[in-house]
Structure formats: C-alpha cells, structure tokens
Amino acid sequence: MSDIRELGTILSIWAHPDDEAYLCGGIMAMATAAHSQVVCVTATRGELGVTDPTRWPPDQLAGIREVELAECLKILGVADHRWLGYPDGGCASVDFDIAVEQIVRIIREWPRTRS
C-alpha cells in the first residue's frame, strides 16, 4: 500500500484507554494527517488497571483515564471517539448480540465516502 488513504475509514476498537496509543497510534495519526476518517471505540474506562493506588486512586482512575484518552486522541488527530460503557474486566460477559449491535450502529453512522 503506497497511500494510507487506501485504507478508507479506520474503525479502531479497544478494550481499555491506552490500547489504541501503543497498538495503532501511528496508523491513526498518519490517517488523520492524510484527512482520512478515523473512529476510535473504547469498551471500558480501564477502572481496574491501577498499579499505584497512591498516584492513581482507584475511585478516580476512570476519570483520569478518560482525560488521558481525550488528550491522546487529540494528539493523534482523532475527533470521533465512542465509549461502549462496559465494566473493566467485563468484556467477555457482554451479550454477543448487544455488542455486535453497538458496533454495527457505529459503522452505519459513517458515510462510505468523504464529502
């Protein structure tokens, strides 16, 4: 592939805030720089991912991670972000049909061509 725009709209779906940054941040930044559509979906707020409760109090972690994700996406140039609202550690227990419908709804909202 010689041009990132050949990918078309990029839909990135992640379990936790920060997964997008280290797994495909470069691709998303390249795509937004080329004026391609990028949609980022995050399933959970990562509220269980605390390793230092003094620095990141568990009762504040979800809010901290929301702010960090917003800043990350701003740097990457991603303007469209969606939360699925699943509890951290609970993705496997989400009803499959409900999860599929949420993603299908997001896909249907995006036009196939850019105006």
Per-state percent for the chain, helix, strand, coil, to nearest 5:
45, 15, 40
Residue 80 has pLDDT above 50, yes or no: yes
- CATH 3.40.50.10320 holds for 11-58+66-95+102-109: yes
Query: What is the total residue count of the chain?
Result: 115
Give me the pLDDT at residue 44, please: 96
Give me the pLDDT at residue 17, please: 95
Residue 96 has pLDDT above 60, yes or no: yes
pTM (2 decimals)? 0.89
* Cα–Cα distance for residue pair 32/30, rounded to 1 Å: 6
Mean pLDDT over 101-114 rounds to 82
pLDDT per position as a tens digit, 16-65: 999 999 999 999 999 999 999 999 999 999 998 778 888 888 889 999 99
